[in-house]
Structure 1
Amino acid sequence: MEKINKRKMLVIGVLFLLLGASTVIGVSASNTNGQNSVSIQRTTPAIQKDIVAQTSLVGNVKISPNAGNDYHPRMATTATGTIVIVYEEEADIFTKDMPVVYSPDNGQTWTQQFLFNSVDFQGSGLLQYPDIVYNAPNDLLFTVAIDPNADQYNNEMYLIPGDIATATAANGYAISGTSSSGYWDCAGTCTNNFFLSLTTEDYSGTLLQILGLGWFTSPDFAYPPGLGGYYYDGQSLLHMSPVSQLEMSHSTNRVFTVGEVIVGSDLYVAMKSGTADEALITSGEQQNGMDKYGDVEQMPAAFVGFGSDPDVSGSGSNVCVVYVRDGNVMCSRSSCGALYETGFSWQESTIETGASTPAVYMQGDNAICAYVKGGNLYAKLSSDDGATWGTAEKLNDVDGTVVDEKGSVCVDKLGVAFEDNRNGNIDIYFAAKKGAPSAELVIESISGGVGVSAVVKNTGDAAATSVAWTISSTGTIFVGKEKSGTIATLAPGASVTIKSGLMLGFGSITTTVTVGTASASKTFKLLLILVK
């Protein structure tokens, strides 16, 4: 098998797009021919079109007004509780756009704010497999999609302000490899400050449907420090090709990728998982001649189980993977730390028999799984990280019309987006459904000064109580290597600053902050008592 050498960075063609929400159409373009890239900038108005909610269908609201078919809904929820959904809008078999719609009122009314089209990036007009994730530290929405028929710039990404209702612009970016072809699938996620776009593509004519992972920063879409930016999986650690049905997620500790892998006549679910610790990601540390923490080929891999159509969600130090095996919806769960080799120990449970098309969302110890059975949409809740599941609740209100195909269901914090053919065409609907309230702590920032300080926020919807924390540093430190404490209570949406106190020493130090199950690290210079 072909070996892809150190960093496996692609020489890229790049397009940059600025999509505005102004009422006046204006276009300005510039073309720069660098050694490895070309860029184009534009300003284009957004849609800002209200979608009439069908209030008679309580909990089921049609959010896609298109006369044709619509597919592959993906959903995120912002810090203010605004629900944002992207999906494929089919004009004809050769043309698909990506609408971006949002609801500020738990899914009862919807507005289409943006309509992305790959033609803006000199593509074919066929934009598929959209995904979206909300990045809380920077209050940004990150979307990804692919144009499989474009000659280049096949992987498209957009950054949208978290306050989408007042957004006046969205930055767009497109990328492709000089040796890449046959783009198949797409997914996205983020760490605190880095945005990840994952594709499956054919590389150099010999590696088929392999993973291609790009790392980017905001707002300039630059590669993070110390990273090559874009990497291919040369299959040296795990045979994960051909892979499809990509899904991504992140927790405070890790980023997760799952996919459906064909081996002979069998299908199995496999995972790649890397640390979310940005100090490690940008450390430049090498393994097997490759970037240890940034290269998708070097990310620790795990066999989850035989099955198909997986989804993944992580929270704190836990992760749930749901999938279909022998006609049943299964869940594999594991704890997962911030270490490079996290050491997954999968525990399996059956969510539902005779069902398919599962999707999962975790918050704290709670999880919700949505799935299709007999043409209907159901949801079950778990309060123990997916070990056991409660009673099924039917969510659709027109019997037998929910579409049962891979990728047709998505679940998030406030509800479920799904494909439904009750009107003859395939449309996207939303059903409101919340899991049990749960606290979820994130480390928003780590900073220096006289000692080290960290800001901790509760992004969940229940109070956190009696949470242990530790600030621990390594290096030449004479005083203040470690300090521990307890956060008595932290309300939903509230933040608190924890401090190491006085430190004395010199030279480079690495500080690790642990709060409950959340952990993050940062490297500083210690100059006697000043941390910089």
Structure 2
Amino acid sequence: MGYGAAGAYYDGESITDTSPATNIEIDAGSQRMYFVIEHENGSTGNSEVIYKETYTDLNPDSDTFLFIGGGGPGGMDKHADVEVWPWQGILVSNELHEYKDPDVATSGSNAVVVYSTNDNIYGDYDIHCTYTNDNGETWTTVPVAENHPADDTNPSVYMDGNMVYCVYVSSGNLYLIKSEDGGATWGTPEQINTQDGTVVAEPRTAEVTAGGIVWTDNRNGHKDVYYYPLPAPVINIGAISGGMGVKATVTNSGVEDGTNIDWSIQLSGMIFVGKEASGTIDTLAAGSETTISTGLVFGIGPTTITVTAGGASKTASGFVLGPLVLGVK
């Protein structure tokens, strides 16, 4: 369906068998974009999780530009056509167990996939996580929530830097559990709903994002949507300015401090010195802001400035004249 680097695409399954596909989720970060699906394995009859991964680079001068035309098998667009995304395959599968209802989140070089599985000796469903901190080169699987004999199901996940937030349903209640190291270890779950046993357990019943947590609740005898603010830092990019180099404001409008926030500033065009700068903000208190900068820049001509911090990204245009970056807007 469709063609060309800006067209629509259809997965003809020339690389990975993806049909029948259900419970599809997608997330795009500053470096990579992932989508995950629940796929019924025709050989085992069990559900498994399949992932696909590509670049999110929007710099047309880059070799990893998302919308490069062609270059893939059969002339397909190698980074944009979902059929031939550069990284893809079965993420978790087992002939004896089910892996259902996946969700994915990414930030920087990190990505986390959560799902419900009965891969245990009890036969009930737990929440597991398969994560990467090197743009999908390696993946590791760990348990997130195991509440035997109750079923833990219907997870949703959000990621900001190394902080990961996962919500899931267990015994009619909604729980939030956090990881501070990109999904490697998890803390103690906290119940979010205030009335026991009213959360509806069904696919996509809950969602967690930077804006908060929503879920389907039947405490009033019908399915209503409830909201709870996310107890987390919320990182945004404020003003981008020029002068001697480029400066940008990074803000935390959340209710918790942000830690280990990776940032970068990239300039496109004829930049001879200072084309890219990066670093880490150790701590950014709730309600505060800080300034990041490139340092010395030297070049000539128009430029597109791309600033990222945590999961936030913002672009601006300007003109570089020697060490000056002018007309930033």
TM-score (structure 2 length as normaliser): 0.72
Deviations for 1:443-468, whole angstroms, at most 9, x for unmatched residues?
987x9x87863635345635557867
* Alpha-carbon distance, 1:355 to partner: 1.6
Which amino acid in the other structure matches residue 324 of structure 1? S
Which amino acid in the other structure matches residue 90 of structure 2? F
**Are the equivalent residues in 1 in contact too, given 2:300–2:320 (CA < 8 A)?**
yes
* Of 9, 21, 25, the match for 1:247: 25
Deviations for 1:403-448, whole angstroms, at most 9, x for unmatched residues?
22222222234643222333433x123152534x346466987x9x
Q: Distance in 2 between matches of 1:232 and 1:444?
A: 39
Q: Distance in 2 between matches of 1:377 and 1:238?
A: 34
Deviations for 1:142-165, whole angstroms, at most 9, x for unmatched residues?
xxxxxxxxxxxxxxxxxxxxxxxx
* Alpha-carbon distance, 1:378 to partner: 2.6
Deviations for 1:265-306, whole angstroms, at most 9, x for unmatched residues?
121111122222212124446322122222111222142213
TM-score (structure 1 length as normaliser): 0.47
Q: Distance in 2 between matches of 1:399 and 1:470?
A: 44
Q: Distance in 2 between matches of 1:310 and 1:505?
A: 47
Identity between Structure 1 and Structure 2 (%) = 34
Q: In the alignment, what sits opposite 1:271?
A: 51
**Structure 1 526/235 Cα, relative in aligned 2: closer, same or farther at 3 Å?**
farther
* Of 284, 301, 307, the match for 2:88: 301
* Alpha-carbon distance, 1:475 to partner: 8.6
Q: Distance in 1 between matches of 2:212 and 2:239?
A: 26
Q: Distance in 2 between matches of 1:290 and 1:456?
A: 40
Q: Distance in 2 between matches of 1:468 and 1:396?
A: 33
* Alpha-carbon distance, 1:348 to partner: 2.1
Q: Distance in 2 between matches of 1:309 and 1:254?
A: 22
Q: Distance in 1 between matches of 2:322 and 2:21?
A: 52
Q: In the alignment, what sits opposite 2:107?
A: 315
Q: In the alignment, what sits opposite 1:404?
A: 201
Q: Distance in 2 between matches of 1:442 and 1:254?
A: 19
1:19-30 equivalences under 5 Å are none
Q: Distance in 1 between matches of 2:140 and 2:261?
A: 26
Which amino acid in the other structure matches residue 187 of structure 2? G
Structure 2 unpaired stretches of 5+: 60-64, 94-98, 119-124
Structure 1 unpaired stretches of 5+: 1-7, 11-225
Q: In the alignment, what sits opposite 2:8?
A: 230
Q: Distance in 1 between matches of 2:109 and 2:239?
A: 17
User: Is it true that 1:291 corresponds to 2:77 in the alignment?
Assistant: yes
* Alpha-carbon distance, 1:308 to partner: 0.7
Q: Distance in 2 between matches of 1:473 and 1:416?
A: 36
Deviations for 1:364-395, whole angstroms, at most 9, x for unmatched residues?
33223222222333332333323233333333
* Alpha-carbon distance, 1:332 to partner: 1.6
**Are the equivalent residues in 1 in contact too, given 2:29–2:108 (CA < 8 A)?**
yes
Q: Distance in 1 between matches of 2:259 and 2:216?
A: 39
Q: Distance in 2 between matches of 1:444 and 1:343?
A: 34
* Of 156, 163, 169, the match for 1:372: 169
**Structure 1 237/263 Cα, relative in aligned 2: closer, same or farther at 3 Å?**
same
User: Is it true that 1:261 corresponds to 2:39 in the alignment?
Assistant: yes
1:137-148 equivalences under 5 Å are none
* Bigger Rg, which one: 1
**Are the equivalent residues in 2 in contact too, given 1:253–1:520 (CA < 8 A)?**
no
Q: In the alignment, what sits opposite 2:191?
A: 394
User: Is it true that 1:432 corresponds to 2:256 in the alignment?
Assistant: no
**Are the equivalent residues in 1 in contact too, given 2:296–2:323 (CA < 8 A)?**
no
Q: In the alignment, what sits opposite 2:121?
A: none
Q: Distance in 2 between matches of 1:485 and 1:368?
A: 24
1:479-498 equivalences under 5 Å are 479-480=273-274, 492=287, 494=289, 496=291, 498=293
Task: Number of aligned residue pairs: give it.
Answer: 301
**Structure 1 267/522 Cα, relative in aligned 2: closer, same or farther at 3 Å?**
farther
